A = this chain, B = another copy of it.
Amino acid sequence: MKEHVYTFRVQYPETDQMGTVHHANYVKYYETARWEFFRSLGIPYRELEDEGYMLPVTNMSFRFLKTTHYDALLTVKTSIKAFKGVRLRLEYKLYNEKQELINVAETELAFVKKGSWKPCAPPQHLVQAIEKYLDSVG
């Protein structure tokens, strides 16, 4: 499975009084990871919105395996699970510096028209970029 790799540091405001990362932040980490994945395909998410598309989350699930901490250097590995019609399903694996898997997540996203929020086919250049990406794995 081909994966996109995104590395970042845990920031102080993301901690809570348990002394770990508050679990709501994982949602944000994976969002940034997926838009960095899109950027690597040549299609920044910002351009998609400029073209009149939005890609809201319709389902998301997270499994917490290990705790982490402030200033940790974490890595998200993002892969495509399914891409059909208006839906895109992505999987994320989060690793700490020791390459231990600390979280696994999935999000399902739907392409909608900006403004109306009506489901719509993704733009053709994104479809092609994703297909080319998937083909490159073999």
- The yes or no answer to A137 lying at the interface (CB within 8 A) is no
A27 touches which of B19, B27, B71 (Cβ 8 Å):
B27
Q: Are A16 and B17 in contact (CB under 8 A)?
A: yes
State how many copies of this chain the complex holds: 4
Q: Are B17 and A28 in contact (CB under 8 A)?
A: no
Interface size class of A (residues with CB under 8 A): 35 or more
- The yes or no answer to A44 lying at the interface (CB within 8 A) is yes
In the bound complex, CA of A58 to CA of B64 (Å): 5
Which A residues, 52 to 75, have Cβ-Cβ distances below 8 Å to chain B? 54, 56-64, 67, 70-71
Residues of A within 8 A of B (CB): 11-13, 15-20, 22-25, 27-28, 31-32, 35, 44-46, 49, 54, 56-64, 67, 70-71, 117
